[in-house]
Amino acid sequence: MLESAIESLPLMQYIIGMKGEPTKADMMQYLTCWLCKGVYRDAHTINECMCTYCKGCIYKYFTENATRYKCPSCHSELGGKPLEYVVRDQILQNIVDSLIPDFKERDDKLKSILLKRLNEKRIQKGTYKPPVSIQKQTQSVNNTTTTENTLSQNSSGKQNVNIVDIEFKLVPLNDEDVNLRMPELPKKLKISQKNKTILTVKKHINKLIQEAIDNIEILCKNFPVADSHSLEYIRKTKWQNNSKTMVLQYKRKRKIVGNNRQDI
Ligand SMILES: [Zn+2]
Ligand SMILES: [Zn+2]
């Protein structure tokens, strides 16, 4: 289906006619946004002139200057409401996604990393504002939107379990056995959805300091917690101190082989 979609594009027919099989490079030059010079992100086409841009690029172009009423690349007149001609172009976007299969994935990952970093900075500065959906719920009870209020609001269990963030610290446990101690993480403070599990926390530690997930033990108030438990569950059952940032400790697991305890 995709191949026939590609071949139905006039430009592709042109390329095929000229050089036989189109190369990836041939295709890429027709999948590039004229405004940002990158491959399309959420391709949107102006249905008057059939020029395509990233959604973000073309919306920004027309909204940041209300006197713009022509297609930026071919200058077709689009009247007073140019955005009415802009429509999502799923076929083109599918072609981009199939030529660069991990592009969207990498793009999404990058976005979420940047957002996380930004939020961490905002929390440090005290300017963090939760996403609009959370703000609305918080405001309906209390007219403030500070992190502290949002978090204590979470603990009352009134909010949607899937969308609310939880703030916690990850600190290495100073086990009496030196071999079980693990290094500090580059960043202690973490924000995560409260339904995320301890296994997710282990994966995070594994990524940062390359300790095998099976070797990591997470504890709360010195008590080991299970992989399957969510952060919210641990806060309610083990931490029980809703006013403060939850502290989770981590250390290397002591491996038990037969009847003999053995360190790793
Ligand atoms: Zn663009
Ligand atoms: Zn155009």
Give the model confidence (pLDDT) of 57-107 as tens digits.
Answer: 999 999 998 888 999 999 999 988 999 999 999 999 998 888 887 777 877
Ligand closest to 61 (CA) is 1
How far away, in angstroms, is 8 Cα from ligand 2 center?
A: 19
What's the CA-to-centroid distance between 98 and ligand 1, angstroms?
A: 18
Is residue 86 within 8 A of residue 33, CB to CB? The reply is no
Three-state SS letters, 80-120: CCHHHHEEECHHHHHHHHHHCCCHHHHHHHHHHHHHHHHHH
For position 24, what pLDDT does the model report?
A: 74
Burial of 35 per CB tally in 10 Å (0-12, 13-18, 19+) = middle
The CA 19 to ligand 1 mean position distance, Å, reads: 28
Instruction: Tell me what ipTM this predicted complex has.
Output: 0.90
Task: Examine the pLDDT at 259 and tell me if it is beyond 90.
Answer: no
- The closest ligand to the CA of 48 turns out to be 2
Q: What is the CA(55)–ligand 1 centre distance, in A?
A: 7
Ligand 2 centre and the CA of 45: distance in Å?
9
Cα of 74 vs centre of ligand 2, distance in Å, is: 4
Span from the CA of 152 to the centroid of ligand 2 (angstroms)? 52
How far does the centroid of ligand 2 lie from the alpha carbon of residue 89, in Å? 14
Which residues are in the CB-under-5-Å shell of ion ligand 1? 33, 35-36, 54, 57
Mean pLDDT of 217-244: 84
Poorest-pLDDT segment among 68-72, 161-165, 197-201, 242-246: 161-165
Distances (CA, A) of 82 to 35, 43, 44, 59, 132: 16, 16, 13, 10, 28
Q: Which ligand is closest to the CA of 44, given by its number?
A: 1
User: In which band, very low, low, confident or very high, does the pLDDT at 229 lie, cut at 50, 70 and 90?
Assistant: confident
pLDDT recorded at residue 150: 39
Question: Which ligand neighbours the alpha carbon of 58 most closely?
Answer: 1
- Say what percent of the chain tops pLDDT 70: 75
CA 178 – CA 252 distance, rounded (Å): 10
Lowest mean pLDDT across 6-10, 139-143, 195-199? 139-143
Distance 260 CA to ligand 1 centre (A): 62
What is the pLDDT, as a whole number, of residue 160?
40
Tokens matching residue 102: 């991990």
Q: Go through the domains of the chain in sequence order and give each one's CATH number.
A: 2-101 (3.30.40.10), 111-262 (3.10.20.90)
Residue 57 Cα, ligand 2 centroid: separation in angstroms? 14
Query: Does the pLDDT value for residue 146 go beyond 60?
Result: no
Is residue 163's pLDDT more than 90?
Answer: no
The pLDDT of residue 110 is: 82
Question: What is the model's pLDDT at position 193?
Answer: 80
Pick from 13-27, 90-104, 142-156 the range whose average pLDDT is largest. Answer: 90-104
- Note whether 262 and 227 are within 8 A (CB): no
The pLDDT of residue 15:
53
144 pLDDT higher than 80: no
Q: Which has the higher per-residue pLDDT, 9 or 27?
A: 27
More confident residue, 235 or 85: 85
Which one of the ligands is nearest to 38 CA?
1
Q: How far is the CA of 161 from the centre of ligand 2 (A)?
A: 45
